[in-house]
């Protein structure tokens, strides 16, 4: 294991986070400051809870967190709701029944990798599209969107869709991400178009 991997793995254990992935979100927050006290946040692919724990630290007890994952786990704060569900079966109404709008939608979702890069990429992009569609359906006008996706042939189409939906879009590669990893993150702010069915509206 490389030193950088050892560093973030050990740091996560020392700071009480279930996984090293939390530092990818921390880096984005340090640079963008999009998570704020009192916010309502949607965390997709939340298990084992590292991102959720950090989000709760930032938004505080006046905020609200909805965490979604197909893997069962329990909420660890009063202002946290866990939905155990396959993301492909998750509808906007499931989320809007809990909160009328979300200030941020974050996604660390990834498919179970097969070792076949092209297939893994396509599955990752499909998850990212679903995350984007949910963000556009339930996000507030000034919603922030932070989403993991695997690089590959279908990434440009996903990025174009994000750019059509948000006023500002950036592609980020966190320092805490393994150098050999194909994962990157798309960060968008301020919704300018909403989803209607499979299309976009002004």
Q: Does the CA dihedral 49-51-54-56 come out positive or negative? A: negative
Cα–Cα nearest to 189, from 130, 105, 129: 105
pTM to 2 decimal places: 0.90
* Active site amino acids: 148
pLDDT (tens digit, 9 = 90+) per residue, 76-135? Answer: 999 999 999 999 999 999 999 999 999 999 999 999 888 899 999 999 999 999 999 999
Question: Cis ω on the peptide bond leading into residue 165 (within 30° of 0)?
Answer: no
Contact yes or no for 187/144 (Cβ under 8 A): yes
Phi (first) and psi of residue 115, to 5 degrees: 90, -10
What is the residue-averaged pLDDT of the chain? 89
Domain map (residue ranges) of the chain? 3-195
CATH code given to domain 3-195: 3.40.50.150
């Amino acid at each position: 294991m490389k030193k950088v991997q050892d560093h973030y793995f050990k740091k996560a254990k020392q700071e009480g986070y279930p996984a090293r992935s939390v530092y990818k979100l921390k880096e984005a927050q340090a640079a963008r400051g999009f998570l704020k006290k009192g916010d309502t946040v949607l965390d997709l692919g939340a298990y084992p809870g590292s991102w959720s724990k950090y989000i709760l630290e930032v938004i505080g007890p006046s905020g609200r967190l909805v965490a979604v994952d197909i893997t069962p786990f329990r909420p660890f704060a009063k202002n946290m709701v866990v939905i155990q569900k396959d993301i492909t079966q998750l509808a906007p109404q499931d989320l809007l029944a809990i909160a009328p709008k979300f200030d941020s939608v974050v996604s660390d979702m990834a498919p179970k990798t097969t070792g076949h890069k092209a297939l893994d990429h396509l599955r990752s992009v499909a998850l990212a599209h679903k995350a984007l569609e949910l963000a556009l359906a339930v996000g507030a006008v000034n919603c922030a969107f932070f989403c993991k996706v695997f690089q590959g042939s279908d990434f440009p189409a996903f990025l174009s869709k994000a750019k059509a939906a948000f006023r500002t879009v950036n592609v980020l590669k966190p320092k805490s991400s393994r150098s050999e990893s194909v994962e990157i993150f798309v960060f968008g702010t301020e919704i300018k178009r909403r989803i209607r069915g499979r299309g976009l509206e002004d």
